[in-house]
Amino acid sequence: MERPGLASLASAGLPLDNRIVARTLARQRARQFPPPAGDRQIRRLTAMAAPKTKEKAASSGKKDDSKKLTDQLAKEVRTRAGTLVTKINAALTKARADAVKQAKAELEKKAKKEAKGGKPDSKELAKKKTDLEKRIPSFKAAISDNVESSGLRAATEQAYYAIKGWSSTCSSAHMRRAAIHVPVTATRSGKTKTILHKKTNLLKFFPAKYSHADHLDEKKEVWSIMSYADFAKEWASAVKGAKLANWAGTKPDLAPEDPWHVELPRKAVKGGVDKEDVVKKTRPGRSDSEVKACVENYAEYVALTDGLPKGRKLKRNKKIETNYKSLFDKKFKAAKAKVDAERKKAVEEAEKAAKAEAKDKKADPKVKKAKTEEATKKLDADLEKRAKKLVNKMNPDPSRFTLEK
């Protein structure tokens, strides 16, 4: 129905409100002098785009700020790691010089003892000392430049470390580029070895018990110049002096489960990190989307493998499940419910097939059991395949970490 104009309202004796008059005149003018179609289209598109553009700009600004922060943290941790390298290498060089000196003294003592009061052959002793020095290893620390060490770690990549049992957190400093790795290598008789993570590997190069006299045995490969306790002391001193911390972010101590990981400190350390050296926002908060995504991916993988036969299911990361208990329980429960529904459906279909096979008779229990086991086995294989696909998708560096097959 057509709306009444001003004339019809007036003739009906109705009072004319100024706002009604203004709106009506505006509509009539718009009908009489419509703007070009192109102008209308531009105005409509502009109006539609305006809120989105504003929203996009805000989002872009947030991303820019985030990148600026991670770039600053990455620069700062690399600078401090450079100081660590200088300090620990100086300590390692000194330790080797002491080892060489003490081992040569032990060799000379042994030679005099073997001479039984006589004088050892000077040329032979000199040669033995030269050979001895060549056998004593040298150690060197350097900043690692691989992606695992210095790159920005995504939530899915952090979940990969949690699944593998290599990390106990979904809020790593690597997720803000506030951490870096400074591995130590050893070189002996022209052969170089990188000292891998974990205390068992550290003990091969820095044993619990060490003696400089160990190097005198020519047939024995001795890859050490100091004890574990001495190395741990030197490492902690260097980390503290470089204003850094271990994986916990609060201590400079050597962490045997992840020794070469250092990060910007979140807490002052007596004798090393002052309040002004402490860095904020080195890790995502527990309520951040990255942390939630990490826990969710871990929980999904656990749910997929939880019902698999022994040897094929995941060895659960208890620290992750404890540290993020409420979030993990929620995500795991939801993911497990889906898997349980699949298992229930597979069993029901197997029983239905056994019943159909028996026709009008009662299904044979043996046939029913066989079909149920077959369906379960088939579903297990599918769940395992999906779990491997999921973890391979999370793999941060397939060139270094083997893909699941």
Query: Rounded to an integer, what distance in angstroms lies between the CA atom of residue 357 and that of residue 352?
Result: 9
Average pLDDT of the segment spanning 37-54: 43
Amino acid at residue number 126: A
Is the per-residue pLDDT at 340 higher than 90? yes
Exposed / middle / buried, residue 313 (Cβ in 10 Å: 0-12, 13-18, 19+): middle
Is the per-residue pLDDT at 86 higher than 70? yes
End-to-end CA, the chain: 71
Amino acid at residue number 3: R
Per-residue pLDDT at 5: 46
Q: At residue 184, what are phi and psi to the nearest 5 degrees?
A: -115, 135
Per-residue pLDDT at 214: 94
The dihedral sign for the CA sequence 32, 37, 40, 44: positive
Residue with token string 């574990």: 228
Conformation bin of residue 280: beta by default, left when phi > 0, alpha when psi is -120 to 50: beta
Per-residue pLDDT at 119: 84
For 112-122, write each residue's pLDDT tens digit.
888 877 788 88
Contact 246, 261 (CB under 8 A): yes
Is the per-residue pLDDT at 51 higher than 90? no
Three-state DSSP string of 311-362: CCCCCCCHHHHHHCHHHHHHHHHHHHHHHHHHHHHHHHHHHHHHHHHHCCCC
Beta bridge partners of 185: 140, 194
Query: Rounded to an integer, what distance in angstroms lies between the CA atom of residue 191 and that of residue 137?
Result: 9
Residue with token string 């493998």: 305
Beta carbons within 8 Å of 202's beta carbon, 6+ residues apart: 195, 228, 231, 256, 259
Question: Global pTM?
Answer: 0.76
Query: Rounded to an integer, what distance in angstroms lies between the CA atom of residue 6 and that of residue 12?
Result: 10
Query: Token digits for 44?
Result: 């409509």
The CB-side HSE value for 345 (13 A sphere, CA atoms) comes to 8
For 238-254, write each residue's pLDDT tens digit.
999 999 999 989 899 99
Beta carbons within 8 Å of 161's beta carbon, 6+ residues apart: 167, 172
For 261-305, write each residue's pLDDT tens digit.
999 998 776 667 778 888 888 999 999 999 999 999 999 999 999
What stretches of 95-228 adopt beta strand conformation (E)? Answer: 138-141, 179-181, 184-188, 191-194
